[in-house]
Structure 1
């Protein structure tokens, strides 16, 4: 057994084990059902690929048909994982069925036209009806393009959520979906290569690009998912669908918040921040602050955005930065490390702290302390 076969077998085995854990993982349970299904199917196809390489009664055509269906199933599964992870929907309902409608369509085509897809695959080295050959590639192109569509929609949802998250969280680490964006980009690259391979294969130039994807790409996908999906925290249970679809300015037009009432909320908010210092909680969310003030989350967001001209993330971290400055100049705190001071002020990431501090002051924390001490 060569090294590549060993890596593929280990990746497939890990994928099966991972899918089991994701199915039963309570945190992010609903979105994990979709990513677990994706991992399970990917691992299954990897095993089929190994059977082919070992000559265990699996033909090349069967592998191609399995990957052919995997491409279509992967798009909806990754899209649904994205949709449920960001909290756009909370419970699975029958509406997800429409995303997998192509599967019975393919089966129907096989029943009505038995000399189409499977015939072409199972008799690839023989003469076959030209229309069957064309039907195979037309169907494959349709499924590839539909998968590209799902990926584009997933990218859009993440992009919208990135903007929305700034009004939900005071620390972005738990809501950072860069790993999912990179996963979708990686899958998009594999899909593009497969599209090229399909086009060349139609011209009977077999470069076996899809085979290389199986050997190099899918194990990477499984290992990425293994680490990130298991460690991804819950983002926001109470995120409303309307918040993901309606621009903030448009939603404020119908909020019903009078200007005098809004100014009262501003005064209460600033007083509460100064006296109670809720920003010292590194996990503070807009929901937490709204409950503490007895204000609806929507109205509190409007007050911060419209009247203070900031998003929630900027608003809270300005208080944290001021607290850091105070601690840096406090002679009784000189024994505390910069990271310790950052955490004491409510930050939970050294990188975020350094970035925001330098943006605010134009200096590193060390340079700031030295300059003001001198």
Structure 2
């Protein structure tokens, strides 16, 4: 029975039965590179009419994502930002959304430009502080927007406590699950109503495709989001759907290796005299360690660290050889990022500094290379 399949099997087969429907028994999903589908007759349909609305390749990807996240529906979008964008259409003028203060900078940019232009209101608090969240809920608050671990300072938010507040005040919970993916964390099972992903990252896993997902609990939310999706036209292409589906097949084995490498690097960084702070939820001295262990099965492979001087920060970025100085994350290749200039460059300086995203702060996405080779590369860059 499909419900007995373990996560690793569902990464490859979903809930089962896809191959039976593939032309010629193709084991891999065919790429249905077509914009339109012929009707068998008047008022009749094959189930697919136009690829902006639905496509067989994309449908298989969406079905696998629903299986992995435990969602009633999953919607594959052209980018992670497109996924967030259609979620905003659930809200109207004057509605307030209370957000994790340490969010991906692109999310903040969308909220404060496109969202506010539409009359939505946003405020940001440390959602790891339950009392602070409660104090900032207003009568016009409609949703909590949570990212845990947060980007880039790796703060952890307790889903169970957020669900209690959501039930008390009648709020939706939207959660960005990009950093841990459904392999390590399943927010819908923990109390979220909607989960968003940048599928570009761990789900795709190879730094070669842009994608986004909205995973939903409940028919009503699904219908509203599907209507916006069809209308706006931010659907993922058939070829990109194929690439992400191919990436997901190795999600579990990639993430295990990436997490193993990240833990080794985090411990190495903690012992370096040049490093003043390490942010990784898999370390026992991380303030969110116990909460993350309660609600997730792993700490993932994203980590950040602070060094003793700005000069050293810049030297590391310009000296790494095996590790690439680049934006993005989650691929098999290790990347190092300078958040103050890259991911959070549009966030006002005073807010960045309040969050600790300063000139001596670096973020690393650990890949699947040999951990000792990565450490040697960092070591020579530190010299």
Asked if Structure 1 and Structure 2 have the same fold, meaning a TM-score greater than 0.5 normalized by the shorter chain, the answer is: no
Higher helix share: 1
Higher strand share: 2
Tell me the TM-score normalized by structure 2: 0.29
Tell me the TM-score normalized by structure 1: 0.29
